[in-house]
Amino acid sequence: MPLSNHTTIQALQNALENGETTAVALTDAALERIHDPQGEGARTFLNVYDEAARTAARLSDELRASGQVRSPLEGIPVSLKDLFDVVGDRTRGASKVLDEAAPATENALLVQRLIDAGAILIGRTNMTEFAFSGLGINPHYGTPRAPWNRDVGHIPGGSSSGAGVSVADGMCTVAIGTDTGGSIRIPAAFCGLTGFKPTAERIPTQGVLPLAFSLDSSGPIGHSVTCCALTDSILSDEPMPDLEPIPYEHLRIAVPKDVVFNSLDTTVSQRINAAILALTNSGVQVERIEMPEFNQLAYINRNGGFVCAEAWALHRDLISEHQDLYDPRVAKRILIGKDQSAADYIDLLAEREHWIRAVEERLEAYDAFLMPTSPIIAPRIRDLEDEEQYFNHNALILRNPSIVNFLNGCAISLPCHPEGEAPVGLTLAAPGHHDAHLLQVAYTIEQLLRPIQV
């Protein structure tokens, strides 16, 4: 079985087990796609581990031949966002500022877990500079185009832009990204994939370049809920959750009335409403509920929130000396944090704690809440060259997914569009540490959404 644009981990493991393919063949196919001059590889990858990947693939095949399969990721090509330390390589956050950074002397813990699991690390992917945008545009290394309507050139979503495109184009089977305000789920939605943002503290941060440590999380983008759950179990070093489907009539899903359905474009509105109807017709209890706390977030984050405050703390020395090397749109957002006082930050901590308690109380009776991942389909890259359009679209696209990061929750974006049409993501989300149950809920609902995608 070749590595196709839609091959799941499970299908590849079956092919590997049955001798229909090898880890070397899968790796060669991935590398061929990356290096195809007609493809998006040059804009998607910042560094490709050609020889190291082939060496790891040969070892994987030898171990399998001897009866050793280390995990469900054995022999599976995986890409890494340019925020994760890999021994001997520079972690630059897709910036020019860190071009001269010292190579990493040890692997990020989650990278080591992938290696120990037998995953084939294929390379490190492009992203928004320092992960500070939901659009995926990078003026330094180029912007990979989303797979849909590629000749026109739509944004891939960010900040894990290369992660989404690497999976969508068959350059790997699963990608590891980070998510501070939607940076896994947005590219998953715009690239027609499944993206899982876990509860942040479940995944180790050692060796991961931060943006805002209060909100950052790391997780997978893949072709299915099972792909994400398998990968998450490796990253978290936790057992694989039970993905037996839940009877539809036992599911209770909340649909917030506040904020998250505002300003939907026609395509997103049609697809999300069709998905909700499919759930309702199958017996899922779908209830529209008041979530007034969602209306409070804009005011709570009026001074830039955690992301600007913490990004400024991390970048204040670098940006003071090398602001000319930054993407000016990224620098502009980082500099907002300069005006926050310690009192502002302390107030924000207290407000968040109160807000989380209030939201969790409203969601206590539900298995998950549902919303569009993005209220609009992916805009064209050229339409965002204007700075005002850039920031307006960025705020709108980040609006829904960032709610989950502030909640310190978990969320998954599922594709819910017909094949060949503009990708639309449907998000299921829950409070923190409900990850295993959320994945089971998502697995159940994934079965309902598949007919919509045909």
Contact 26, 3 (CB under 8 A): yes
Cα–Cα distances (Å) from 370 to 279, 412, 433, in that order, read: 11, 10, 17
Tell which residue, 179, 192, 128, 84, has the closest CA to residue 410. 179
Q: How far is Cα 416 from Cα 414, in angstroms, rounded to an integer?
A: 6
- DSSP readout, 3-35? --TT--HHHHHHHHHTTS--HHHHHHHHHHHHH
Catalytic residue ranges:
81, 159, 183
220 three-class SS: strand
Q: Give 370: exposed, middle or buried? Use CB within 10 Å, 0-12, 13-18, 19+.
A: buried
Q: How far is Cα 279 from Cα 349, in angstroms, rounded to an integer?
A: 37
At 191, list the tokens. Answer: 């690239």
At 19, list the tokens. Answer: 């001798």
Contact 396, 388 (CB under 8 A): no
DSSP 246: P
Tell which residue, 213, 215, 220, 209, has the closest CA to residue 187. 220
Q: State yes or no: cis peptide before 159, omega within 30 of 0.
A: yes
Can you give the length of the chain in residues? 454
Q: How far is Cα 147 from Cα 128, in angstroms, rounded to an integer?
A: 18
Terminal CA-to-CA distance of the chain, rounded, Å?
Answer: 22
Which residues, at least 6 apart from 328, have a Cβ–Cβ distance to it below 8 Å? none
- DSSP readout, 95-156? -STTTTPPPBSS--HHHHHHHHTT-EEEEEE--SGGG--SS---TTT--PPPSTTTTT-B--
